[in-house]
Structure 1
Amino acid sequence: MTTVALPRVPARLGRFVLRMFRPHIYVTYGLLWVLALEGSAVSLSGTAWRPTGSTWVRVVSVVLALLFLRMLDEQKDFAYDRVHHPDRPLVTGAITVAELRGGMAAITVVVALLNLALSWAAVLLILLALGYGLLLVALERLSAAVTERQLLNLVVTYPVQILLGLYVYLSAAASGLVTGDWRAVPLLALCACVFLHFEFARKTSWDTEPGAHLYSQDLGARGSAAVAAGLAAGAVVCEVVLFGSDGTLGLLPCLMAALPAWGTWRFLSARRGSWPLPVAMGFVLGSYLALVARAVVLP
């Protein structure tokens, strides 16, 4: 059992974060997701939107929650990583389970205290998301199928993303910033489709490797590509339902559909290699940036 001197722990956690939770990716994603979701929810209520102090509490809380889940995944995936990713920090000893759990405990305290400034509802909602992440550990220990079957794993693990989306929306509603109505459903579905398009795209490949966790190994390359393309199409449908009456500017997010359309064509025509990942990432970032721009300008 590895023991680490306490003064060294912050530096080791910092190196873990820089390597496994790359800020330019994860922080950017969390930031744009919260701004796009909150901004769209407020503007759909007919109110002009600008980020406030509460907005930044939600941003920091979601980013820290994503880091909490990344730390949890590092522990859950240890057996898999020993075979397929032997250079991962937990496998090499660059970080220990105790250090990761200490970081998770600190994150839990910080997000709880931050959200006390919003409401008790916000505290409960963010802790519910973290708690579901912990529940996944027990589920994967009880059922090997949850770990080994990629589609089942997605069904079981994705709800934590839904809970984080609900935290953003419902905490804004609890503060009176958002007037909740039926449009919450297509708005949350829009965010889900955007994320899941990227999730399927990054695990879609013509190549197969024994033991690799790819959707294309369960659905086939064409089947997995079809799901990825269908999710992008679903995002566009949600955008039309939500913003179709706003005119050209309201439909600006729909223009981002050109990226997954090109990615689908490129992947299917190549018949080798993996989905062009930068295109899938561009769809996520472009969609959320367009939603933020729309919320700032409209109504």
Structure 2
Amino acid sequence: MTTVTAPQVAARLGRFVLRMFRPHIFATYALLWVCALEGSAVALTGRSWRPTGATWVRVVSVVLALLFLRMLDEQKDLDYDRVHHPDRPLVTGAITAAELRLGMAAATVAAAGLNAALSSTAVLLVLSALGYGLLLAVLERLSAAVRDRQLLNLVVTYPVQILLGIYVYGSLAAAGTISADWRGAVLLALSACVFLHFEFARKTAWETPPGARLYSAALGPRRSAAVTAGLAAGAVGCQLALFPPAGPAGLPAGLTAALPAWGLWRFLAVRRGGWPLPAAMGFVIGTYLNLIVRALVVATSR
């Protein structure tokens, strides 16, 4: 039996993170999402927003939660990956399930420890998202429908993202930075539409390669594209409901909204390949940057 030392385990986990988690992507997404959600929540009180130490705790906590879920997904998808992705680290033995579980435990302890500095509510909220992820692993193991039906799987798995949004918003309310009201639900709906727009965009295509898990395979390319565009429209509608379109943030918001419209036109016109992902990614980045800039420089009166 080969003994693996602690430094070797750390190195294997590090290589897994660099390959399967891509920190520059996930950390950037977490930074934009948390700052846009927190900044918008503060701006709606009529004050301009500035990031604080608590902001960085929330950003790092969301990164840790996303890493936890990525490690969990690697284990949940093992049977599928053996057939369709034989080069994945868990399949090849580049990392073991026990090492991934160790990484998940470390992420949990780190997230709980960081949020203990904020409030007990923040600890409970971030742990609830991780706990829901573990519940999903059990559900997918027990139910073939949840595991294999793409749309049902999305309905069951997406709430973990909502719980992370509730963690950000709820920890702000627990700290007394904001007073929770109905606009919090609209903010969470906005971020849900932004995330789901990209989720559908990356899984919408005219062709379905063998083993691919695409929403367009279940809905058809045109209907999947309509849902993708509709989610972007929902995000724009939520933004307009919360903030007036005029002012310094108005033009960027309009330009960002043009990206999914162009993506839909191109997808339907070309009739091959997938939804143009640069447009979907640009919509995510543009929407969140617009909200952050607004929060930094525009104090609302609403």
Any conservation in 2 of the 1:165–1:188 contact (CA below 8 Å)? yes
- Counterpart Cα distance in 2 of 1:138 and 1:58: 27
Find the counterpart in structure 1 of residue 286 from structure 2.
Answer: 286
Q: Which amino acid aligns with 1:24?
A: H
Secondary structure at 1:95 match in 2: coil
Q: Give a deviation string over 1:43-89, Cα, whole Å, max 9, x none.
A: 00112210000010000000110000000000001111111111111
Q: Secondary structure at the match of 2:246?
A: helix
Q: Which runs of 4+ in 1 moved over 6 A?
A: none
1:98-177 matches, cutoff 5 A:
98-177=98-177
Q: Name the stretch that deviates more: 42-51 or 225-234.
A: 42-51
Task: Give the alignment's Cα RMSD to 1 decimal.
Answer: 1.3
Residue 188 of structure 1 is matched in structure 2 by 188
User: C-alpha distance in 2, partners of 1:254/1:146?
Assistant: 38
Of 57-66 and 1-10, more deviation after overlay is shown by 1-10
Q: Deviations over 1:128-154 (max 9, x none)?
A: 000000000100011011111000000
When normalised by structure 1's length, the TM-score is 0.97
User: Bigger shift: 31-40 or 175-184?
Assistant: 175-184
**1:9 matched to which residue of 2?**
9
Distance of 1:135 and 1:17 partners within structure 2 = 23
Structure 1: give runs of 5+ residues left out of the alignment. none
Give distance in 2, aligned partners of 1:294 and 1:180: 20
Where in structure 2 are the equivalents of 1:55-70 lying within 5 Å?
55-70=55-70
Following TM superposition, by how much is the alpha carbon of 1:254 offset from its aligned partner in structure 2, in angstroms? 4.1
Alignment: residue pair count: 298
Checking the alignment, whether the CA contact within 8 Å between 1:239 and 1:254 is kept in structure 2 is no
Contact kept, 8 Å, 2:196 with 2:231, in 1: the verdict is yes
Match of 1:248? 247
Shift of 1:286: 1.0
Match of 1:75 in 2: 75
Amino acid at match of 2:201: A
More deviation, 258-267/197-206: 258-267
How far is 1:24 from its partner? Answer: 1.4
Aligned runs of 1:8-87 on 2, under 5 Å?
8-87=8-87
Q: Distance in 1 between matches of 2:179 and 2:25?
A: 31
Contact 2:204 2:216 in 1 (8 A): yes
Q: Distance in 2 between matches of 1:239 and 1:39?
A: 13
Contiguous gaps of at least 5 residues in structure 2: none
Native 8 Å contact 2:249 2:290 kept in 1: no
Alpha carbons of 1:294 and 1:140: their partners in 2 closer, same or farther (altered >3 Å)? same
| Structure 2 Cα separation of the partners of residues 198 and 214 of structure 1 | 13
Residues 249 and 294 in structure 2, CA contact (< 8 A), matched pair in contact too: yes
Task: For 1:247, give the aligned amino acid.
Answer: A
Q: Distance in 2 between matches of 1:185 and 1:6?
A: 44
Write the distance in 2 (CA, Å) between the matches of 1:4 and 1:230. 50
Query: Residue type matched to 1:68 in 2?
Result: F
Identity %: 73
Report the AA paired with residue 50 of structure 2.
R
1:91-125 deviation line (CA, Å, top 9, x unaligned): 11111101100000001111101001000000000
Q: CA deviation at 1:3?
A: 5.9
CA contact (8 A) 1:243 1:250 kept: no
> Could you tell me how far 1:5 is from its partner in structure 2?
3.0
Contact 1:50 1:296 in 2 (8 A): yes
Q: TM-score w.r.t. structure 2 length?
A: 0.96
- For the residues of structure 1 that align with 2:42 and 2:272, how far apart are their CA atoms? 44
AA in 2 matched with 1:26: F
